[in-house]
């Protein structure tokens, strides 16, 4: 399975904000640490705000902060909310395939997708943050190398 870059960035933002729980972080700072486009990340953070994971404040001292406890953020749920899970055309509402009535591939792929999501649902953001000290060091070193 492969998730989109959009969902990948969403998970990375949650990790960053989880490591920096007590700080309102400007979105460009997160983009800089990961070496990704601020414009692209803006769309991702808007979605995370809309979903209720992140709070966004405007202004000179504005930025982003995690508003849910990391132990309450289920990785599988985040992926389901952000990721288009129509991995093949026939999974979508408008999908059409001439062999669909007799196709067994759809069932195989459906079971694989459910297993993938079930595995992700076993994990929370808190688990991804159990190495906070290491992550902080990596974020600090990424800002040193980019200046």
pLDDT tens profile 30-74: 999 999 999 999 999 999 999 999 999 998 888 999 999 999 999
Amino acid 143: pLDDT: 60
Rounded to two decimals, the pTM is: 0.87
More confident residue, 75 or 23: 75
Q: What is the mean pLDDT of the chain?
A: 89
Average pLDDT over residues 88-111: 79
Amino acid 1: pLDDT: 73
Q: Is the pLDDT of residue 95 over 70?
A: no
CA distance 20 to 2: 27
CA distance 55 to 98: 46
CA distance 37 to 54: 19
Q: Is the pLDDT of residue 133 over 60?
A: yes
The distance from CA 26 to its chain's CA centroid, rounded to whole angstroms, is 18
Q: Is the pLDDT of residue 97 over 90?
A: no
Domains and CATH numbers, the chain: 5-145 (1.10.10.10)
Q: Is the pLDDT of residue 147 over 60?
A: no
């Amino acid at each position: 399975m492969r998730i989109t870059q959009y969902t990948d960035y969403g998970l990375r933002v949650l990790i960053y904000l989880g490591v920096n729980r007590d700080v309102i972080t400007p979105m460009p700072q997160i983009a800089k640490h990961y070496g990704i486009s601020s414009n692209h990340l803006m769309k991702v953070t808007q979605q995370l705000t809309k979903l209720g994971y992140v709070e966004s404040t405007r202004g000179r001292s504005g930025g982003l902060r995690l508003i849910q406890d990391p132990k309450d953020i289920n990785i599988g749920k985040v992926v389901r909310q952000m990721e288009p899970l129509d991995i093949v055309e026939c999974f979508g509402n408008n999908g059409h395939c001439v062999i669909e009535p007799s196709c067994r591939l759809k069932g195989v792929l459906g079971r694989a997708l459910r297993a993938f999501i079930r595995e992700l649902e076993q994990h929370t953001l808190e688990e991804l943050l159990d190495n906070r000290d290491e992550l902080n060091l990596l974020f600090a070193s990424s800002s040193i190398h980019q200046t």
